[in-house]
Chain A
Amino acid sequence: MPPEKLTMMANQISRFFAHLGPEHAPEEIADHLRKFWDPRMRRDIIAYVAAGGGGLDPLAAAAVARLAAETRVP
């Protein structure tokens, strides 16, 4: 999936939950991505960030980091 589109979508979601602040917003954003994004979309944005891709706002980046941690092979 085009990373710029995924980034834009993640940032939109982030804006909605931003009022929860850095303590709670990342989990809400991550939960939204888990519930509504197909796994390949989540994989693609994780890979994009892992490859140094930018453009995610800090809360969205924190949410993607949580997803990345969940999918890491132990």
Chain B
Amino acid sequence: MPLIKETDYGTPAIASEKTISLMIDGMTMEVPEGTSIMRAAALAGITVPKLCATDSLNAFGSCRLCLVEIEGRAGTPASCTTPVAPGMVVATETERLKKLRRGIMELYVSDFPRDILTAPANGNCEFHDMAGAVGLREVRYGYDGATHLNAKKDESNPYFTFDASRCIVCSRCVRACEDIQGTYALTIAGRGFASQVATGGTDFFASECVSCGACVQACPTGALIEKSVIAAGQPEHSVITTCAYCGVGCNFKAEMRGEEVVRMVPYKDGKANHGHSCVKGRFAWGYAMHRERILKPMLREKITDPWREVSWEEAIGRVASEFKRIQARYGRFSVGGITSSRCTNEETYLVQQLVRAGFGNNNVDTCARVCHSPTGYGLKATFGTSAGTQDFDSIDHADVMLVIGANPTDAHPVFASAMKRRLRAGAKLIVVDPRRIDLVRTPHVAATYHLALQPGTNVAIVNALAHVVVTENLVNEAFVRDHCEWDAFQDWASFIARPENSPEAVAKVAGVPAALIRDAARLYATGGNAAIYYGLGVTEHSQGTTTVIAIANLAMATGNIGRPGVGVNPLRGQNNVQGSCDMGSFPHELPDYRHISDPAVRRIYEDIWGVKLDAEPGLRIPNMIDAAMDGSFKGLYIQGEDIIQSDPDTQHMIAGISAMECVVVQDLFLNETANYAHIFLPGSSFLEKDGTFTNAERRVNRVRRVMRPKNGYADWEITQLIAQALGYPMHYAHPSEIMDEIARTTPSFAGISYDLLDRVGSVQWPCDANAPLGTPVMHIGGFARGRGHFMITEYVPTEEKSGPRFPLLLTTGRILSQYNVGAQTRHTENSLWHEEDRLEIHPHDAEQRGIRDGDWVKLESRSGATALRALITDRVATGVVYTTFHHPDTQANVVTTEFSDWATNCPEYKVTAVQVSRSNGPTEWQETYRQHAEQSRRVLAAE
């Protein structure tokens, strides 16, 4: 595919039903009212020269290159800032305009480097293009006098350079930072000749810049340019694919030279990201080429042995012989597999097929176990579908956002930018979170209410919000009567109206003033379209499922379901959490969330796979570990997950996995789990395979191979080799064939094919005969289950309580530059922003313990202890501490406990009673763990 260059219409599209007729360069046209002359011309195929305009930004009118003449009007107005008018007659090319443009361009060029052969932007530079477009043939001004040619380069950012000598101060970067990203890190400092792009008195790296890349993308001159382009040269072809980081699912153009990625550029037609990106997707893809990546299969007899590189044939043969041996000795149910939310739909589908059909049991689970499994249970029980209700664009119609237990600016940055745009346009924000997340107060955005609750009291708070709705007659009774089970609603309303659910009662347990809860509830119920967005701060609790149900109750009671601007929206952590759940990765469900005990559903797969399926649910990940401890579970195939780092109570996890006789890890790197593995199968990156990811809005996006797998096989091929070696026939020639089988067997995917995705870009399931192009907003006119089901949500305090020994509550989360266990981002320059996990502690709690900022502190719970450095901040309340879990050196999960959600066993990461004390450095356990990891990663030299 050649290099894809999207058309730039100069100014944004205008949504207006009224059209205006005008003539440009002799062509008559009709465009929506409010459209600029520049855009109208571009729509007709006429390119008006421009520099400061681009259609992702509102018109600015500074460069004066886009001048036009309009009959009956004096002067030469800028076409970017002049809207069309009825009967207008416009000329874009006249002798006067040509002369003016050449003069303007000549002035620009007079203060611009003329290194025409060596400039890194050569071949892809709007500035050079415009010099050509206006016919500039000479520059009459010399370099005598003051210029900006010797301006200093800012190379502080690891991913891009700012060369001020090439800056024409068009403000596109500043406006992109403000209007698209919403960070306001850039400004134009100085006046007149001294005007320059500035980052607040420091360099790019030390500034507020979040490295989203919007400024680089907006720059027309190459002043801001990717270092990878400087190093590799301009790309020559591009492939549209989907980011492998968070659940937003941004589309990118992988811009290539041969099989080398030159850069990843966000795709303007990407329906989830609309041309925007974050530091991870835009820049942090170098892990795929990192020198520590393992490219050859490896074996060892015992986990204390060094690794030995072997052929694929030997490695796959060993997997098969070991799993056969274990099943022969310990029984059919003694082995299992884990699918990955980082892999494609097709790959997760194959792993669950391998387990169910090849292993002959249902011991398959996925990393969604430890994040959004409560969402699956809670939304299915209430709405009938285990998924969020809206598309991302729904946010543009929201009047109120209720953000509970999510930190979008760090974990879902591109969607956070869309949220911030809507908030700047006047929508109101309620944040429910123990921490003061960035959204609470960020440039030009402030939450109306921040309910800084005690960790573990989500159910109490959401019940209290609903209490206000019910007792203050704010229920949308018409909606409830039309769409929900009335009897169940009445039972729920009676329950929720009880005094123990009142804000006044809840204030005592949650630590949030009753008046604040009441005000927030009134705003949610009466503020117009109200949308709920939630994350792992909701699900990762012993009552995670109950909170999801409580949220669904609240949305139904207020009628905030079934139209744009409202809904219940789980923000999925990893790129394919939704998809891995959809594809039957849970031990009790086949694809499309159909229970394994249903004989009719089993028969669909039995007919295709040619085997009898077991009707009983299998083990979930924590159950696998417990079963390993009691000796009934001995073999595990793990594709793309690092359970030793990501799962709770590390020492228990290590004990369990060490008790197994064959652990197979398939990953890009020797991760923490591989330290306890017997077979390592090198995995492939998202750049090396075809497939699909399904994002948090149920959008099925294509992943396209841009290079051959560096390890030799795509992950789906490796699973297939294992199946064949076990004697189970699995012979797909291409992932499109897997998707075709998914479509044949999965009702909500019935209409999806690679052909459709290639034609329309992406679709949101359900995609079937009733919705051939997918379903952006669900439950319009009725719920998937028929009528919405209210459920009683009694608040039950967690067993994990603070006390004299462990007086603080720890909650964990993410940071912008890192991702999950860090396997990908730690192998990129992103670590420059976050080299280590830090413990956030309130100044009061720090002072009581004699802790200063940057001190090493010991973080201890009843499960274990680790040490890390302290970050003193009032972002956390007194009594609460917070850390991330991105770095294995910290291994934050050595502290978290075995408590989990009642319905799904999703771990209670968000509440751990801890003590914090000053320390001299890493704990003895950390030192031992580090030494073990180093020993475990030894690889024998090839013979």
Contact = CB atoms under 8 A, between A and B. Distances in A.
B630 interface: yes
Interface stretch (A30-38, A45-53, A62-70): A30-38
A19 B542 CA distance: 18
B627 A1 contact: yes
B588 A9 contact: no
B595 A35 contact: yes
A54 B312 CA distance: 51
A18 B794 CA distance: 9
Contacts of A2: 626, 629-630
A36 B616 CA distance: 9
A16 B545 CA distance: 10
B623 A38 contact: yes
Interface residues of B, number: 31
Interface string B580-612: 000000011000000101000000000000000
B495 interface: yes
Nearest to A44: B630
A5 B626 contact: yes
A38 B794 contact: no
A40 B902 contact: no
Given A36-B588, A38-B587, A19 B616 contact: no
Interface string B540-553: 00100110000000
A35 B618 contact: no
Contacts of A16: 545-546, 794, 796, 902-903
Interface string B470-502: 000000000000000000000000010000000
B903 A13 contact: yes
Contacts of B794: 15-16, 18-19
B588 A1 contact: no
A64 to B, nearest CB: 16
Interface of A, secondary structure class, is helix
A39 interface: yes
Contacts of B796: 12, 15-16
Nearest to A18: B794
Contacts of B626: 1-2, 5
A39 B616 contact: yes
Interface in B887-921: 898, 900, 902-905
B330 to A, nearest CB: 12
Nearest to B542: A12
B632 interface: yes
A40 B627 contact: yes
B445 to A, nearest CB: 37
Contacts of A41: 619, 623
Nearest to B363: A38
A16 B896 CA distance: 24
B725 interface: no
Contacts of A15: 794, 796, 902
Interface in A1-34: 1-2, 5, 8-9, 12-13, 15-16, 18-19, 32, 34
B618 A9 contact: no
B527 interface: no
A40 B629 CA distance: 13
Given A1-B630, A35-B595, A13 B619 contact: no
Nearest to A17: B792
Contact of A36 (B629, B630, B632, B903): B903
Contacts of A39: 616
A46 to B, nearest CB: 14
Contacts of B112: none
A45 B623 CA distance: 14
A9 B902 contact: yes
Contacts of A38: 333, 363, 587, 616-620, 623, 627
A10 B239 CA distance: 51
B497 to A, nearest CB: 14
Identify the interface centre among B616, B632, B904: most chain A CB within 10 Å of its CB.
Answer: B616
A49 to B, nearest CB: 17
Nearest to A16: B902
Interface string B124-168: 000000000000000000000000000000000000000000000
Given A38-B619, A40-B333, 11 more contacts: A2-B629, A9-B902, A12-B542, A15-B796, A15-B902, A19-B794, A32-B903, A36-B620, A38-B616, A38-B617, A38-B627
19 contacts: A1-B630, A2-B630, A5-B626, A15-B794, A16-B546, A16-B796, A16-B902, A19-B495, A34-B597, A35-B588, A35-B595, A36-B904, A38-B333, A38-B363, A38-B617, A38-B620, A38-B623, A38-B627, A40-B632
Interface of A: 1-2, 5, 8-9, 12-13, 15-16, 18-19, 32, 34-41
A-B pairs with the 6 shortest C-beta distances? A12-B902, A19-B792, A38-B619, A1-B626, A39-B616, A15-B796
